[in-house]
Chains A and B, each alone.
Chain A
């Protein structure tokens, strides 16, 4: 608290002579003018209200609604409480649920094991200032600029069974989007294509910030390129690595647009987010059931958020 007076100290109202006898705590408060106090209160209150109103209340409402069978019609007083029935239904009689969980995990694994390392690899290559590196950089980053919905459309032109580019080039008749054993991989290629560019740019920015003298020192000590990267550069980039990790997890949890554009998340492309949308949004209005799915998604996200926060806080304490 001792640094509080530093805030616009020059404009603070000087304490009137009469109050000099009051306690020190009061005096310190008085150092902030009334306007300052109003401003600070507003700056705390407004964002708090926004966060509570737009994040916490809807989240809480989702959890509450997941215990009902509301169909979106009629007043709240007519909502029937059905307890855990929706969860029971989700797990036991809703066939798309298990594939959705599997696909979300597969998505995470594919981005984590393939796309992210590949993006980092490209960043390292581009950091070498190859000829035309600007061009490669732009080309690789381009997919990130396009919306996932547009990407879905672009790949549809490539993957279409009867009229697509891929089958025309290969002379095959593979049903890239329709065959449930194939389509998730086809979509992962499309999603990865975009993810690689994103990670590449993030990582490249980090690499540019690494002190060149570290590399020089490593080179003088006779370290090879690879061991310089893994033993010197990679550990120095720890903050960026964490960001990349978090971005990868977020991207795989919120994966939605691509599968929705392709076939509304059905037939092999089930994802939790798509199931939530299919049930809640639109004419279907299975609000209670969809909320149960959304709550499950919230719990899954919380696991990752907790892990992340725990790591970051441990960092901060160190």
Chain B
């Protein structure tokens, strides 16, 4: 190795041969090339936005259906719409939770013409803020939806802003084999339920499986007790911040809940709903108040063994006809690139053909349109559909029926506090009410 003659020579030798061939200029060119590649990649990503602007032959859909089954169903819906109308559908799928968490920015930016969302307070809130489009004329053409679905799709101004697609009810689930073995009967009043639970305890079962590590499952318990004790309208007003949490009505809900807590699975705050559902599946628990998705935790050959009943009546003047049944569906952006196409698509999604595609494609959901061919339903799903069909009012679940900031930063910690210490109800309710006032007035 010869001695380097100058400092520049010396430095040049330090460069490994693999890189030595590149001088600064070619590096820059490479960087520019890579940049161009990235740029086109990004542009291609946004392509659906920019392309669909010109012609009226496309419509874009923002989708939170990131799981394989729902994603596949949406693709089939898009294909069906394309063949019937000739309009091409571009689907932009985003991870489910990410979509939900970014919804504020998404709607204020350049949203897709049509996007997936849920019925409830949040839907009405966006509608009131003018962030979504009025689809009342689509509703004029839709058939097969019960009044409850129409009510759930209506904004504060009486116009419709939402087209329902699927839903699932909340109910008390149990295993038929366990109940047959012990000869249990479906309870029709709260007293029946308490007696039954007491019997289960004697039989060595955990009467009511329970989990609240994630914070939201307890909302289901509160909701159903509130619906049974105070009725649907009070639920809506309470969620809208119009009723006081310190009122005797709310206190009664918590008192009833406190009475039932000893019958629930202990140490709920460390348990996920999956673990609680498995205790039901393993025949360790007698029943479990949850959504229809509890069936995911059962094996295929156990699906027929699952049964449910709606939460029993507490006040005979209120009855037991209302329930939580969150509805998933579609909304339209405030300024879609092609309003005609967007409405055509919503019309198609709300129609019978689309309902049939959904029934076939996704065994996990119930279709909102009663015109859909439901002969492919399992016995469990048929019963669930009947339950919701006979419901007088459908609530959307606490965190969909109220402000998300109130539900996640106030209600979840408060309910967990209650489960920890069910004794100090009035102190807890005062704390909720103080925070509610601060949040709802802002």
A262 to chain B, nearest CB (A): 8
How far, in whole Å, are A89 and B409 apart by their CA atoms in the complex? 13
Instruction: Give Cα A160–Cα B275 distance, bound, in whole angstroms.
Output: 9
Using a CB-CB cutoff of 8 Å, which residues 52-110 of chain A contact chain B? 69, 71-74, 80, 82, 85, 89, 92-96
List residues of chain B with CB within 8 A of the CB of A80: 442
Binary interface encoding of chain A residues 165-190 relative to chain B, with 1 for a CB under 8 A from any of its CBs, else 0: 00000000101111110010000000
B414-433 interface bits toward A, Cβ cutoff 8 Å, 1 = contact, 0 = none? 10110010000000000100
Contact of A96 among B104, B266, B413 (CB under 8 A): B413
The reply to whether A178 and B413 form a contact with Cβ atoms under 8 Å apart is no
The reply to whether A162 and B442 contact each other, CB–CB distance below 8 Å, is no
* Chain A residues whose C-beta falls within 8 Å of the C-beta of B104 in the assembled complex: 72-73, 283, 285
Q: When the two chains form their complex, are residues B267 and A95 in contact, meaning their CB atoms are under 8 A apart? A: no
**How far in angstroms is the closest Cβ of chain B from A288?**
8
Q: Check if A173 sits within 8 Å of B267, measured CB to CB.
A: yes
Min distance, Cβ B241 to any Cβ of chain A, angstroms = 14
- Closest Cβ of chain B to A138, distance in Å, is 29
Which residues on the A side are within 8 Å of B270 (C-beta)?
A: 159-161, 175-179, 183
User: Does A286 interact with chain B (Cβ within 8 Å)?
Assistant: yes
Closest to B268 in A: A178
B35 sits at the interface (CB 8 A) = no
User: For the complex, is A279 an interface residue (Cβ under 8 Å from B)?
Assistant: yes
How does the 8 Å CB contact mask read for A270-294 relative to B, with 1 for contact and 0 for none?
Answer: 0000000011011111101100000
Is the Cβ of A94 less than 8 Å from the Cβ of B435? yes
A289 to chain B, nearest CB (A): 8
Using known A-B contacts A93-B431, A160-B275, determine if residue A69 contacts B442 with beta carbons closer than 8 Å: yes
Q: How far is the CA of A180 from the CA of B417 in the complex (A)?
A: 10
Q: A286 near B409 (CB under 8 angstroms)?
A: yes
Take A72-B104, A93-B431, A263-B213 as given contacts and tell me if A162 and B275 are in contact as well, using a CB distance cutoff of 8 Å: yes
Residue A301 at the chain B interface, CB threshold 8 Å: no
Q: Which residue of A lies closest to B437 (CB)?
A: A93
Query: Is residue A267 within 8 Å, beta carbon to beta carbon, of the partner chain?
Result: yes
A282 vs B431: C-alpha distance when bound (angstroms): 24
Q: How far is the CB of B386 from chain A (nearest CB, A)?
A: 33
In the complex, chain A residues whose CB is within 8 Å of the CB of B268: 178
The answer to whether the Cβ of A163 comes within 8 Å of any Cβ in the partner chain is yes
Q: B100 at interface (Cβ–Cβ under 8 A)?
A: yes
Q: Cβ of B431: which chain A residues have Cβ within 8 Å of it?
A: 93, 95
B405, A279: Cβ atoms closer than 8 Å: yes
- List residues of A (174-225) whose CB comes within 8 Å of B's CBs: 175-180, 183
Asked whether, in the complex, the Cβ of B213 is within 8 Å of the Cβ of A178, the reply is yes
Among A183, A279, A284, the one with the most B-chain Cβ atoms within 10 Å of its Cβ is A284
Contact present for B405 and A266 (CB under 8 Å) = no
A117: shortest Cβ distance to chain B, in Å? 30
A179 near B409: Cβ-Cβ < 8 Å:
no
Task: Give the docked Cα–Cα distance between A278 and B412 (Å).
Answer: 11
With A82-B442, A93-B435: A266-B100 Cβ-Cβ less than 8 Å: no
Question: Contact between A266 and B416 (Cβ–Cβ < 8 Å)?
Answer: yes
Nearest A residue (CB) for B126: A73
Contact present for A286 and B267 (CB under 8 Å): no
Q: From residue A251, how far is it (CB to closest CB) to chain B in Å?
A: 25
Nearest chain A CB to B288 CB, angstrom units: 14
Closest to A173 in B: B267
Distance between Cα atoms of A286 and B104 in the complex (Å): 12
Name the B residues within 8 Å of A180 (CB-CB).
269, 420
CB of A30 within 8 Å of the partner chain: no
Chain A residue with Cβ nearest B416: A267
B438 in contact with A175 (CB, 8 Å): no
| B residues less than 8 Å from A289 (CB atoms) | 409
In the complex where A73-B129, A89-B438, A177-B213 touch, is A283 in contact with B404 (Cβ < 8 A)? yes
Q: Which residue of A lies closest to B275 (CB)?
A: A162
Shortest CB distance A155–B (Å):
12
- Measured between beta carbons, the chain A residues less than 8 angstroms from B434 are 92-93
For the complex formed, measure the closest distance between the CB of B167 and the CB atoms of chain A, giving whole angstroms: 20
Of the candidates B100, B266, B409, B412, the one whose C-beta lies within 8 Å of that of A279 is B409
Considering only residues 365-414 of chain B, those with a C-beta below 8 Å from chain A are: 404-405, 408-409, 412-414
**Contact partner of A162 among B101, B279, B435, CB < 8 A?**
B279
Residues in A neighbouring B100, C-beta threshold 8 A: 282-283
The answer to whether A175 and B269 have CB atoms under 8 Å apart is yes
Q: Which residues of A contact B279 (CB under 8 A)?
A: 162
Query: Are the C-beta atoms of A263 and B413 separated by less than 8 Å?
Result: no
- Cβ of A178: which chain B residues have Cβ within 8 Å of it? 213, 267-271
Residues on A with beta carbons closer than 8 Å to the beta carbon of B267: 161, 173, 175, 178-179
Q: Which residues of A contact B122 (CB under 8 A)?
A: 283
In the complex, B103 has a CB within 8 A of chain A: yes
- Residue of A whose beta carbon sits closest to that of B108: A73
Measured between beta carbons, the chain A residues less than 8 angstroms from B214 are 263-264
Residues in B whose Cβ lies below 8 Å from that of A72: 104-105
Q: Is B439 an interface residue (CB 8 A)?
A: yes
Nearest CB in chain B to that of A96: its residue:
B413
Least CB separation from B100: chain A residue: A283
Once the chains bind, are A71 and B413 in contact (CB under 8 Å)? no
**A281 to B104 CA separation, bound complex (whole angstroms):** 11
B291 on the A face (CB < 8 A): no
- By the criterion CB–CB under 8 Å, are A278 and B409 in contact? yes
A266 partner, pick from B271, B278, B413, beta carbons under 8 A = B413
Distance to closest chain A CB from B33 (angstroms): 24
Q: Is the CB of A266 within 8 A of B215?
A: yes
Q: Is the CB of B271 within 8 A of A162?
A: yes
Interface residues of A in 224-253 (CB under 8 A from B): none
CB-based contact B269/A179 at 8 Å: yes
Q: Give Cα distance in the complex from A92 to B122, angstroms.
A: 28
Contact status B409-A284, CB under 8 Å: yes
Q: Are A284 and B408 in contact (CB under 8 A)?
A: yes
A283 vs B406: C-alpha distance when bound (angstroms): 10
> Across the two chains, which residue of chain A brings its CB closest to B407?
A284
Residues of B close to A288: CB separation below 8 A? 442
Chain B residues 26 to 46 lying within 8 A of chain A, measured CB to CB, are none
Q: Nearest chain-A residue to B265 (Cβ)? A: A162
Contact in complex: B103, A71 (CB < 8 Å): no
Q: CA–CA, A82 to B101, complex, Å?
A: 25
- In order of increasing CB-CB distance, the 9 nearest A-B pairs are A178-B270, A178-B269, A175-B267, A69-B442, A282-B101, A283-B404, A284-B405, A177-B270, A175-B270
Q: Can you list 11 A-B pairs with a CB-CB distance of less than 8 A?
A: A69-B442, A93-B434, A94-B435, A95-B417, A96-B413, A161-B270, A162-B271, A162-B279, A282-B101, A282-B408, A285-B404
